[in-house]
Structure 1
Amino acid sequence: MDLQLILALVAGIATIVVIVLFTRLDAFIALLIAAIVTGVVAGQDLLSLIDAVTTGFGNTLASIGIVIGLGVGIGKILEVSGAADSLARAFLRTFGKGREPWAMGSVGSLVSIPVFCDSGYVIMNPLARSIARVKRGGYITLALALGAGMTLTHHMVPPTPGPLAATGILGADIGSVILTGLVFTVLLLPVVVIYARWIGPKLEPFLNAKVRHDVYSTVAAGAPTSSTSAVETITEPDGTTETVTVEATTSVRDAGTKQPGAFLGFLPLIIPLLLIVANTVSTAIDRNAQGVLSGDDYEPSSWVAPLAFIGNPVVALIIGLVLAVYTLLPRLTPRTQVQSWLADAAASAGLILLITGAGGSFGMVLRESGVGDALAEAIASISLPALLVPFIIASLVRLAQGSGTVAMITAASVTAPLIAPLGLSPLVAVMACTAGSMVFSYFNDSYFWVVTRFAGLDGIQAIKGWSGITTAVWLGSIPLLFVLDLVV
């Protein structure tokens, strides 16, 4: 084991944490600087270091950048059309009376696949308040189930940017990641509901006065009909303050237009997912029939080629976006308005794209400098299960700086060079990155403030409720990862 290379890795990760926590720079710059620091400490030639940074950035975005952009576009149309709200209400009707926490957790899981969980929670929270008002209680349980349901798919199911980026960096099959992420979500949803039902009644007496009045007043609640925002001031340990604003975009319903039904709202989600999964399954069957289970020697059969084309994530999500625009928005919606919404979606995806590319740069430097091989040797020497490496790294980075997306990308970048030496499945590595990044959401996570402020929880009660439920699903994912590792 080369100590210099291990120190290079430690220096790189420490650089990310320090820059994100203590400077005015963001994760994009932090990852690029970390890549350079790692290469320099490892003794890599400076010119080859820059080449690795640019090559890693380009290779990563070439495989995943278009998909991220299309995914957030679909999410924006679902948001502004009111289709997300229709889906939520359909789920409530399906689950029936007395199963509201299950419905809210399921609603959160579905909505958060295409819609960022911060804005998705703002959109769906009025529904939780309406249910609690009718029931005259149980709001905390519903609010936590909704938020944690969103956390599951936000962290585990593409085309959410975090798992999508990890998939691209680690070279996993996106269809397999979608299927596995959905299975993990279904299996972890009971953890969400059980924890919410256990802790909710204990925290209900601590609901702050303003939220209690808003939730249980006699004024009818509904989905937001205009710009809805939450503005929170976060006090950091050093005494500085930061204002966090979460805003839901004005809906087309404001003009009095009819809200799209749940069936139409489901189409732009389910059709791309089905096409991608069909591509994955048909390719696996064809590979098995040809006896080509791995490598680059595989040539699709004539019956597989059309499915491989329309099931390519880029084509599938183009289809989904076109469906969203032409089935969910009113026919007379101005073209300039639609283009403005899509431009907003592209803007929101911009930083994610940069961070994802920078994560690819970091991973390429780790490979080219030999740090990845050194880490693999170190893991082998202590007999640590390979799947725990991305899981632990993602957990530590999440605790240190708060962003689940940054935690996933960092863990994927570090793990990428270990895939071959340790015989680790890319699919298992992706799921370990995503699961590890869910741990103990607290003050340095903007979503913590969104959920706890809308839920009306403060101080230690917020920790017990939200930090507790995210840690519960993090713990629940560990046995699932080991089972997945045995299966694949």
Structure 2
Amino acid sequence: MLALVLGIATVVLVVLATRLDAFVGLLLAALVTGFVAGSPALDTITSMTEGFGATLSSIGIVIGLGVGIGKILEVSGAADALARTFVRLLGRGREHWAMAGTGAMVSIPVFCDSGFVIMNPLARSIARRIRGRYVTLALALGCGMTLTHHLVPPTPGPLGVAGILGADIGALVLAGLVFALLLLPVVVTYAAWMGPKLESEVVEDVREAVYAGATVGAGSSGGGTVTDVADDDRSEAPSHQLGETPEGEKPHRVGFLLASLPLVVPLALIVLNTVAVAIDRSAQGVLDPEAEYTPQGFAKIMSFLGHPVVALTIGIVLAVYTLLPRWTPRKQVHSWLAQAAASAGLIILITAAGGALGQVLRDSGVGDALAEAISSMSLPGVLVPFLVATLVRLAQGSGTVAMITAASVTAPLVAGMGLSPLLAALACCAGSMVFSYFNDSYFWVVTRFTGLEGVAAIRGWSGITTAVWAASLPLLLLASLVI
């Protein structure tokens, strides 16, 4: 138990108090855990490399492809097209629902930080036209992104958790989407309640940039319609880095259907794979997930097409050839994909390092000791990964590191506590959403763009993230009855 405590403390201490990052912190934590637990030094190194390699082989390619799709959505204007369509469909007075829904969809492949920067100009445009409610729109947009960023693969964090715990990715997509849909009303309700209270707290330069001299407070009753926002005011759209349209070519615009293809097709293939295999297993009478099983017929086809690597490869091909104009230079596309790969690199390393820590916990016997301790308590098993993720998130700020650390700690305990890998994965992901504040980079992105400082920032952004974290707990307890 001391080995486990010191291992987690090492991650937190390294991230908070040194110049090193979470990747090195997780590796040091694995070494500390193995040493304190009494494992031979070379055995600890072997466990680390085996755990690192196994995790990397399961999610490394998928994370790289997912980030590549997100980059193409960003530069092509597809993310902006999705947002404008949601606003137009939902209608006047429901703009905060549109922002939350858009954020949730865009953040599946796009990192929260860049996704919020891409979508924020549209939130400002809507606020200017309805002459108010910018804070409400910004909070709904930002926390809508938080939901799927934390709960739905192919976002890197949930992918890493699935790889470490051995959870089925398709099942996690379905369960994560259900959780996100059920939590979306919490996001909208909190934003609608707290936003008006904080509107007067927006700093002056942001207020001036958003409203540009308009009279604030008229709500959605004045200053144009939602259709106006969706159809014109193109100057408010973010720069998509496509450059000037060559002479003789039509201006590049992406419609909703094309914009959604690189997202919907891979997710649909992954989910179809999960469903087809489950039906085929039942038909063959192979209900034990550990039993040997060979897919037949349609399930065999979907096992290939619905494998995350194949599905996301299809997604990135669709993104490049349907979202980018034909006159985009090949070198420019390669440059964008290289930028995406660079941004994915650290996430991949952190996730694999979490796998290394988990393997050390297994091989050193720390996991067995923790399982015995937990089994002697009346604490529901699902709360263990949830609380570990919560504490690590509060301590060091990164949701990805929190859920991966929780998965690493939980992996050796899943069987002993009677938890399914899927339920444990959901608990890790949900627990990592708690109280985003000063040690979280996304906190600064949202609050700076929204113009909230000090207590107002805590009430707005830290409050809304804590609300969805708290609301996820009863959902987890209900899920534990059926998963």
**Aligned match for 2:277, one of 268, 276, 283:** 283
Contact 1:390 1:415 in 2 (8 A): yes
Q: 1:217 aligned to 2:207?
A: no
Contact 2:121 2:238 in 1 (8 A): no
Partner of 1:419: 414
- Structure 1 window deviating more from structure 2 (149-158 vs 217-226): it is 217-226
Q: 1:260 aligned to 2:231?
A: no
**Aligned match for 2:77, one of 65, 74, 82:** 82
Partner of 2:163: 168
Runs of 4+ aligned residues of structure 1 deviating over 3 Å after TM superposition are: 218-226, 253-257
Partner of 1:232: none
SS of 1:30's equivalent in the other structure is helix
Q: 1:132 aligned to 2:150?
A: no
- Amino acid in structure 2 at the alignment position of 1:261: G
- Amino acid in structure 1 at the alignment position of 2:306: G
Q: 1:302 aligned to 2:297?
A: yes
Partner of 1:292: 286
- Amino acid in structure 2 at the alignment position of 1:136: R
Partner of 1:438: 433
Taking the aligned partners of 2:238 and 2:181, their CA distance within structure 1 comes to 31
Partner of 1:237: none
Q: Following TM superposition, by how much is the alpha carbon of 1:251 offset from its aligned partner in structure 2, in angstroms?
A: 2.3
Q: 1:373 aligned to 2:363?
A: no
With structure 2 as the length reference, what TM-score do the two structures score?
A: 0.94
- Amino acid in structure 2 at the alignment position of 1:280: T
Q: Following TM superposition, by how much is the alpha carbon of 1:302 offset from its aligned partner in structure 2, in angstroms?
A: 2.6
Q: 1:110 aligned to 2:105?
A: yes
The 5 Å alignment of 1:311-460 reads: 311-460=306-455
Contact 2:100 2:141 in 1 (8 A): yes
Contact 1:82 1:251 in 2 (8 A): no
For residues 409-428 of structure 1, give each alpha carbon's deviation from its aligned partner in whole angstroms, at most 9, with x where no partner exists: 00000000011111111111
Task: Evaluate the alpha carbon distance shift between residue 223 and residue 53 of structure 1 in structure 2; reply closer, same or farther with a 3 A threshold.
Answer: farther
Q: 1:149 aligned to 2:139?
A: no
Task: Evaluate the alpha carbon distance shift between residue 384 and residue 225 of structure 1 in structure 2; reply closer, same or farther with a 3 A threshold.
Answer: closer
Contact 2:170 2:273 in 1 (8 A): yes
| Two-structure CA RMSD over aligned residues (Å) | 1.2
Partner of 1:243: none
Q: 1:473 aligned to 2:449?
A: no
With structure 1 as the length reference, what TM-score do the two structures score?
A: 0.93
Partner of 2:223: none
Partner of 2:241: 251
Taking the aligned partners of 2:315 and 2:420, their CA distance within structure 1 comes to 29
For residues 24-48 of structure 1, give each alpha carbon's deviation from its aligned partner in whole angstroms, at most 9, with x where no partner exists: 0000000000000000000001111
Taking the aligned partners of 2:153 and 2:245, their CA distance within structure 1 comes to 32
- Structure 1 window deviating more from structure 2 (260-269 vs 290-299): it is 290-299
For residues 139-176 of structure 1, give each alpha carbon's deviation from its aligned partner in whole angstroms, at most 9, with x where no partner exists: 00000000000000000000000011001000000000
**Aligned match for 1:46, one of 41, 46, 50:** 41
Contact 1:225 1:253 in 2 (8 A): no
Task: Evaluate the alpha carbon distance shift between residue 442 and residue 221 of structure 1 in structure 2; reply closer, same or farther with a 3 A threshold.
Answer: farther
Q: Following TM superposition, by how much is the alpha carbon of 1:277 offset from its aligned partner in structure 2, in angstroms?
A: 0.4
- Amino acid in structure 1 at the alignment position of 2:298: W
Contact 1:78 1:265 in 2 (8 A): yes
Taking the aligned partners of 1:13 and 1:152, their CA distance within structure 2 comes to 25
SS of 2:376's equivalent in the other structure is helix
Q: Following TM superposition, by how much is the alpha carbon of 1:296 offset from its aligned partner in structure 2, in angstroms?
A: 3.3
Task: Evaluate the alpha carbon distance shift between residue 448 and residue 261 of structure 1 in structure 2; reply closer, same or farther with a 3 A threshold.
Answer: same
**Contiguous gaps of at least 5 residues in structure 1:** 1-5, 227-249
Taking the aligned partners of 1:373 and 1:417, their CA distance within structure 2 comes to 7
